[in-house]
Structure 1
Amino acid sequence: MKKLISILALMFALLMVLPMTAGAFNSYQTYTNAIGGEPLYSPDAYIPINTYNSSYMGLPKSLSDPYDIFVDGEMNVYIADIGTNSIIVLDRYYKHKFTLSEFTNEIGAPDSFASPRGIFVTDDKKDVQGNVVEEGKIYICDTQNYRLVVFSRSGEFLYVLDAPESELFAEDSIYYPIAVAVDKYGRIFVVSSQTTQGIIVLTADGTFTGFIGAPTVSISLWDIVWRRFQTEAQKKKSSDFVPVTFNNITVDSDGFVYATSDKIEAGKIESAIRSKSIAGADSPVKKLNAAGDEIMNRNGFFPPVGEINYAPMSLRTGEKIGVSAIGDVALGEAMTWSITDTKRSKIYTYDAQGNLLFAFGDKGSLQLGNIGTLKAIAYQGDKLLALDSGSAKSITVYERTEYGNILINAVSDQLNRKYDSAQANWTEILKRNSNFDAAYIGIGQALYRDGKYEAAMEHFEAAYDTANWSLAYSELRKNNIEKIFFLIPIVIIALCVVFSMLLKKINRINIRAATSGEKITFGKEILFGFHIIGHPFDGFWDLKKEKRGSVRAALVFLAITVLTFFYQAIGQGYLFNPTGTYSTILAQLVSVCVPLLLFVIANWCLTTLFEGEGSFKDIFVATCYSLVPLPLLIIPSTIASNMVNINEQDLVSLFVTIAFIWAGFLIFFGTMVTHDYSLGKNVIMIVCSIVGMAFIMFVALLFTTLLGKIVGFVTNIITELAYRM
């Protein structure tokens, strides 16, 4: 009996503990993004271990409106609190050390902060023996006093850097510092929320030297033209084309500046996501060198803009969300960096190439790990600190997991060219997360260096990495060509001879058919297509007057064209179709036949009214014969697409473009000869035919919609009658 009671007590204890554990570790889902943008769930790279509030910290005044957080080289934590106009300094265990709020300034007068926002702390400078030669400094953005205040790391006031003066500042510019960073050379970078020229650069003594990273303003041609016709009153009412401002900043050990902005237009960010843009002009996070040039790598599936699967509105709360609003940036190990999304309280971490390593977090306050209002983040070694300025007013500490450690080690080994170690770590990553593309790339690069090109290509294909795949393929192709090099010129010469003989044979048959007066057979009707593509004026004239072609031959060319596009869809090389998407024969049939029939119908309807001599049959036959260049060039191009690297890709695309242009010219001249139009009149008729195609589609869509409503109405009546009976 006692044993039974013990077992029941143990089960009850487990039931009480398990929900708490699940709640702690399942408060959010860690994920990356697939090439199509879908989230790919992954193991947690960071898990929350605790939340620390004012009571735990032992603060004399509770946090009121925390704005920024910073961690120095000795793992001390600094918090800027707007509500109490103070800077709180904590030790590595998040216990209170001292508070900076009131101080005696340079002239011996009592002074204090007014809404301090940004913080940056420099490390002690040491000599080769490790002795401190210069103590680190605490730089504070005293925002509403329009200045920077500098303290020693021990909390002693040093000096004030007042607002810089220069003719480069706009007349209405207000120095309103909200973020600051200092590089290893002592240069000070300041973000002023009311300064639109870029990031302010100061020397160590506060002398203004210029701006870097000035945001560009893109003005459409329509806006330029429209403003020329506006009155002065209208210009005043219209929005000015003012560059966006930055909202946060940090600097790495090499002096590169990372700056964020939450003022980028949502439409521009959405466009960058859709186009997978690698440009930095409208990016919410930039990496700048000393000259202010944007040098961030954006080689991931999508630009580093935070959330890719954005929704206009939250299904849970009904709140308008949209694209991410980037609030802060923090630098981690191995050149990784993280940004925050203040709308979703999420953290996104990228590597030096701009690949998303992981994203995690969620809005909320009931579960450990969720943040009510994510204001700022900072790395503390292998921990990540998140500042919650919502109702909790606390710091949430996330600890890196085993998976996260392996991932960072792999990235670090890759950067330090420890390829064998990196490959081992990437292999461990794939054991835990088979969806992680960076692991496939890392292993592929290791295999490439070992000369295992085919295996490397397989790994690059798994990660849709066309650039590295092309490098491996080029080496593999070079090795194969070396084995059969002597055969290549023989094959090329043989193909040229056969092709030349074939063209001569076809030409002789076409000449004999035109001069002999014999009956035109089906084979000769097919071969006549080769005459038309080189002699469109004579060819289309003979097609109409001499009946050198037929509907059955036209249908053959149409069928060959459909099969050509189907072959192109399924037979293209990896570089042209990295995702392996394919199309059905039915889809190709519709995509070719529907536009062709729409053009034929629209052209026949219009030319019947405007003295066109061609019948519906003549237009259809001429249009189908005009398609001959498409299979002639697209089929060889599709074959060649399996043999080229990324540098030769445009050459294949060029031949496909030539095929479409060639077919377009044949359709144009074919309709002109068929209807006996002048050049100018034919241009007008072609344009009108395209408009007519759109009109026919509109009428068809309208008819289909009305028909659907009628069917639905009749169905509802029948259903109602059935119920009543």
Structure 2
Amino acid sequence: MKRIKNSLIVFFLLLNILLFSVDSTFLTYTVAGNNIWKVTQDAYIVSEVLFRDYNLYYPEDLFIKGSKMYIADSGNARIVVYDMETGEATSIGDFKLWQPTGVFVTDEYIYVADPGSSEVVIFNLRGEEVKRIGRPTNPIFGETANYKPKKLVVNKRGNLYIVSEGTFEGIIQLDKDGEFLGYFGSNLVGVTLLDKFIDLFYTREQKEKFLHRIPKPYTNITIDDKGLIYTVTQKEYGNAIKKHNTIGLNILSASKERRMVDEDNFVDIAVDKDGRIYALTETGLIYEYDSEGNLIFSFGGRAISTERSGLFSVASAIEIDEMGKLYVLDKERGLVHVIVPTEYANILHQALNLYEQGKYIESKRLWEKVMTYDGYSKIAHYGLGKAYFQSARYDKAALHFKEAFARRDYSDAFWEMRNNFLQKNMGIILSLLVIIILIFTIIDLLSRYGKIKIKFHVKNKLLSDVLYIKNILRHPLDTFYYLQKKKHGSVLSASIIYLMFLLVILVDYFGRSFIFNLNTSDRNVGFVLLTSSSILFLWIISNWLVSSINDGKGTLRDIYVFTAYSFAPYILFQPLVILSTYVLTYNEKFLIDFASMFLISWSAVMLFTGVKETHDYDIKNTVKSILFTLGWVFVIILVYSIVYMLWDQLVETAFSIVQEVLYRVRNIR
């Protein structure tokens, strides 16, 4: 009996594996803290594939309205209407359309974008042609402006928003009669460093000749139940998806801290009734976002050699119905894949709905369920953080905000924790401060009246030279003089100070508190050390070369030593700034930034003074020397970069030359 039971368990396990291997859309991914990709549980599976026996030829778009599916069958120049309840398919627009690529359906009409005829063709729900909207005649539209409607949506007032092929001014907005209302929500033009350089030095005529700064045209468009317009733009990595307000501005966060995780080859976009966004790439990847643009899942992919459910040859359109089912169009194979959410996705969606309604505490139980499926989910940690914060459990909230890399929210929780700590321990803190002040006051009074003598004598020469760094803070001119005369300082003591400087840089970069530690995950200790030490080395060598030409009195040894001592303000005080990051919150960030900038500026002044005193320059020659030194540093880095980029070609060329020489030597023999 036990053997039969075990056999049945194994059978059902194998059956589950087989079913999931057929219906799974391969792996589902989500993002953990710091936008690190993680494989998670299947969020969606394929329930069926439609139109296997129907001759769709390069379909470009689809639209769901009630129980009807409308497909822009571009290759066959028609709109296919598929009844999802009966399974029957009919067509409209035969012999009336040229190349339909976009379809949108309202309660009364079917709107078709037809770039082949450069028109928007309107049918009633029975398939009868009602109207054609051609090129706007309004002079404001422009005689040379492109008008080839590719995609379109219609709002509740009947106004049309048209994505036109090659139109970079924005979305063409027409009223229900086809009158031009203006362009809506144009993309911004990206300006590179080269462009800024050209702006400084090129004339107006040269700019017009060499620069063609035009915004990228939109790729696709959709509209939600509230009338908000959503667009996707190809080749716009980090800003490909936009959610436009009524005046066309993007209201999705595009800041450096919360830049969207996206792709640069999105071809379509859909929005469900709860405001969640689904974006489709040409390679079949589907990205799901919440209403604020935070990535929830990524799944799907490209079918390389064989047809497989949930994978696509060339994906072209995505839609979602009221039940949350996704419909993805594969235009190369003429198929529609129907993808349904799993229990995992449904629980997460319920939690998101409560979260977006501000019901953070009510969503806590659901977020905890989500965590049983995936303990790394960034969005789940953030939701739990909000729930704990609203419950005044700030320590728990801080832990989850940290896992979600939500620095501002972590800062708010930390502020509450700090405030509670200060309220409970203010008496003890003040007492300790008074005691410390009294101790120092008594010691100072006793030393003044000769009761005690506090004086430290450092007999070790190396230790004395290293500690001499503090002297530069009060007497910089004397310090540089004695360094040059070799009364203080040495190459070894300077080397130790350089090591201290590099250590402070490392701690500054990696050791700040979570709120202020903004380093990226692709940086490591070796990279920071190599970069910092390389710049130091280039400065020393370049300044020595420049001073040799410009009659500077400092030797290579002098430059090496005074440069090290010039960093005294940063070395001595930046650790205090780093420690303060564990006490201050994000709202007090300006204090950290000001202190760091002050210390860097102070060190720069010390370096300027060191160049002036060591080389015996006046102010004019000091500025000249520093500028030339920085110029040499820039040139060396530029040359290195060019050689590094061309290194493979250089090695290949050298290898070819060697082979040719050996070949000719053999032939001569």
> Offset at 1:695?
8.2
- Candidates 434, 440, 443, aligned match of 2:381: 440
Kindly indicate whether residue 596 of structure 2 is the aligned counterpart of residue 640 of structure 1. no
- 1:467–1:646: 8 Å Cα contact kept in structure 2? yes
In the superposition, the TM-score normalised over structure 2's length comes to 0.82
Q: How far did residue 402 of structure 1 move?
A: 0.8
Alignment-derived partner of residue 295 in structure 2: 356
Structure 1 residues 519, 448: CA separation in 2 closer, same or farther (over 3 Å shift)?
closer
The answer to whether the 8 A contact 1:100-1:155 is kept is yes
Aligned counterparts, 1:378-393, within 5 A: 378-380=319-321, 381-390=323-332, 392-393=333-334
Q: Which moved more, 1:86-95 or 1:31-40?
A: 31-40
SS in structure 1 of the partner of residue 67 of structure 2? coil
Matched residue SS, 1:372: coil
Instruction: Tell me the distance in 1 between the aligned counterparts of 2:473 and 2:216.
Output: 55
Paired residue for 2:225? 253
Aligned residue for 2:274, secondary structure, equals helix
Of 87, 98, 105 in structure 2, the residue corresponding to residue 121 of structure 1 is 105
Q: Aligned match of 1:98 in 85, 90, 94?
A: 90
Residue number among 66, 69, 73 corresponding to 2:62 in the alignment: 69
Residue of structure 2 in register with 1:203 after alignment: 175
Alpha-carbon distance in structure 1 between the residues aligned to 2:168 and 2:162: 12
Identify the match of residue 466 of structure 1 among 360, 383, 407: 407
Tell me the alpha carbon deviations over residues 17-40 of structure 1, each in whole angstroms, 9 at most, x when there is no partner. Answer: 778535414552111234565431
Instruction: Report the CA distance shift for 1:209/1:583 in structure 2 as closer, same or farther (over 3 A).
Output: closer
Residue equivalent to 2:250: 294
CA distance in structure 1 between the partners assigned to 2:125 and 2:389 by the alignment: 49
**Matched-pair contact (CA < 8 Å) for 1:66–1:82:** yes
Name the CA shift for 1:694/1:205 in 2 (closer, same or farther; >3 Å).
closer
Question: Which amino acid letter does the alignment assign opposite residue 383 of structure 2?
Answer: G
* Residue aligning to 1:568: 508
Deviations 1:83-132 (A, max 9, x none): 22221111233722532125xxxxxxxx7222222111224xxxxxxxxx
Match of 1:716 in 2: none
1:150 and 2:117 correspond: no
User: In structure 1, how many angstroms separate the alpha carbons of the residues matched to 2:618 and 2:541?
Assistant: 21
The question of whether the paired residues in 1 share the 8 Å contact of 2:242 and 2:252 is answered with: yes
Equivalents in 2 of 1:685, 1:374: separation in Å? 60
- The answer to whether the Cα contact below 8 Å between 1:285 and 1:305 also exists between their aligned partners in 2 is no
Decide which moves more: 644-653 or 155-164.
155-164
Q: Give me the whole-angstrom Cα distance separating, in 2, the residues matched to 1:196 and 1:584.
A: 41
Q: Tell me the residue number matched to 2:51.
A: 53
* Secondary structure at the counterpart of residue 133 of structure 2: strand
Q: Counterpart amino acid of 1:385?
A: Y
- CA contact under 8 A between 2:141 and 2:180: conserved in structure 1? no
Q: Give the aligned partner of residue 614 of structure 1.
A: 554
Distance 1:602 1:41 in 2: 50
- What SS is found at the alignment partner of 1:196? coil
Matches of 2:594 and 2:419, distance apart in 1: 24
Q: Deviations over 1:328-367 (max 9, x none)?
A: 110124211111111x211111111211111111112521
Checking the alignment, whether the CA contact within 8 Å between 2:24 and 2:45 is kept in structure 1 is no
Cα distance in 1, alignment partners of residues 163 and 207 from structure 2: 35
What is the Cα deviation at residue 228 of structure 1? 4.7
Counterpart in 1 of 2:142?
A: 170
Q: RMSD value over aligned CA atoms? A: 4.2
Q: In the alignment, which of 141, 156, 162 is matched to residue 190 of structure 1?
A: 162
Aligned to 2:617: 677
Matches of 1:612 and 1:209, distance apart in 2: 69
Among residues 11, 28, 31, which one is paired with 1:30 in the alignment?
28
C-alpha distance in structure 1 between counterparts of 2:196 and 2:349, whole Å: 46
Contact kept? 1:569, 1:583, Cα under 8 Å: no
Q: TM-score, normalised by structure 1?
A: 0.76
Alpha-carbon contact 2:506-2:525 (below 8 Å) kept:
yes
Amino acid at match of 1:457: A
Q: How much has 1:492 moved relative to structure 2? A: 6.6
Equivalent positions of 1:493-508 (< 5 A) are none
Report the Cα offset of residue 409 of structure 1: 1.0
Q: Which letter maps to 1:211?
A: Y
Alpha-carbon shift at residue 48 of structure 1 (Å): 0.9
Q: Distance in 1 between matches of 2:522 and 2:116?
A: 60
Choose 36-45 or 597-606, whichever is displaced more. Answer: 597-606
Q: Secondary structure of the residue that 2:139 maps to in structure 1?
A: coil
Q: 1:593 to 1:496 in 2, by over 3 A?
A: farther
On the 8 A contact 1:30/1:45 being kept in 2, the answer is yes
Question: What residue number does 1:280 align with?
Answer: none
Read off the aligned partner of 1:613 and give its amino acid letter. Answer: K
2:603 counterpart of 1:663? yes
Describe the shift of the 1:355–1:688 C-alpha distance in structure 2 as closer, same or farther (beyond 3 A): same
Q: Which amino acid aligns with 1:363?
A: R
Query: CA contact under 8 A between 1:371 and 1:388: conserved in structure 2?
Result: yes
Shift of 1:612: 3.0
Tell me the SS of whatever aligns to 2:60: strand
CA contact (8 A) 1:297 1:352 kept: no
CA distance in 1, matches of 2:626, 2:444: 32
Q: Which moved more, 1:298-307 or 1:43-52?
A: 298-307
Give yes or no for the alignment of 1:334 onto 2:318: no
Counterpart for residue 451 of structure 2:
none
Out of 371-380 and 646-655, give the one that drifted further.
646-655
1:214 equivalenced with 2:186 (yes/no) = yes
Structure-1 separation of matches of 2:516 and 2:300:
36
Return closer, same or farther for 1:177/1:13 CA change in 2, 3 Å cut-off: same
Give CA deviations for 1:288-311 in whole Å, capped at 9, x if unaligned: 11211221234797644634xxxx
The aligned residue for residue 534 of structure 1 is 474
Aligned with residue 262 of structure 2, among 298, 306, 309: 306
CA contact (8 A) 1:255 1:289 kept: no
Query: What's the secondary structure of 1:286's corresponding residue?
Result: strand
- Measured in 2, the distance between the counterparts of 1:325 and 1:519 equals 69
Local SS of the residue matching 1:186:
coil
2:376 is aligned with 1:420: no
Which is further off, 438-447 or 419-428? 419-428
Output one character per residue of 1:393-418: Cα deviation in whole Å (capped at 9) or x when no partner: 11111111111111111111111223
CA distance in 2, matches of 1:652, 1:658: 10
Shift of 1:171: 2.0
- Distance in 1 separating the partners of 2:299 and 2:308: 14
Deviates further, 203-212 or 406-415: 203-212
Where 1:644 maps in the other structure, the secondary structure is: coil
CA distance in 2, matches of 1:499, 1:202: 78
Which one is further off, 584-593 or 495-504?
495-504
SS of 2:111's equivalent in the other structure is: strand
C-alpha distance in 1, partners of 2:529/2:439? 32
Conserved in 2, the CA contact under 8 Å of 1:52 and 1:94? no
Q: Name stretches of at least 5 consecutive residues in structure 1 with no aligned partner.
A: 103-110, 124-135, 273-282, 308-323, 507-517, 714-725
Q: Which ranges of structure 2 fall in alignment gaps of 5 or more residues?
A: 448-457, 656-669
Kindly indicate whether the alpha-carbon contact (under 8 Å) linking 1:77 and 1:94 is maintained by their aligned counterparts in 2: no
Match of 2:285 among 343, 346, 361: 346
> Are the equivalent residues in 2 in contact too, given 1:30–1:43 (CA < 8 A)?
yes
Q: Which residue of 1 is the match for residue 74 of structure 2?
A: 82
Q: Share of identical aligned residues, percent?
A: 27
CA contact (8 A) 2:25 2:45 kept: no
Change (3 A) 1:500 1:152: farther
Deviations 1:118-166 (A, max 9, x none): 111224xxxxxxxxxxxx3322223333332333334454433343222
Residue type of the alignment partner of 1:330: A
Cα distance change on mapping 1:448 and 1:159 into 2, 3 Å: same
**Counterpart position of 1:181:** 153
The alpha carbon displacement at 1:439 in A equals 0.2
Question: How far apart, CA to CA, are the structure 2 residues paired with 1:16 and 1:655?
Answer: 63
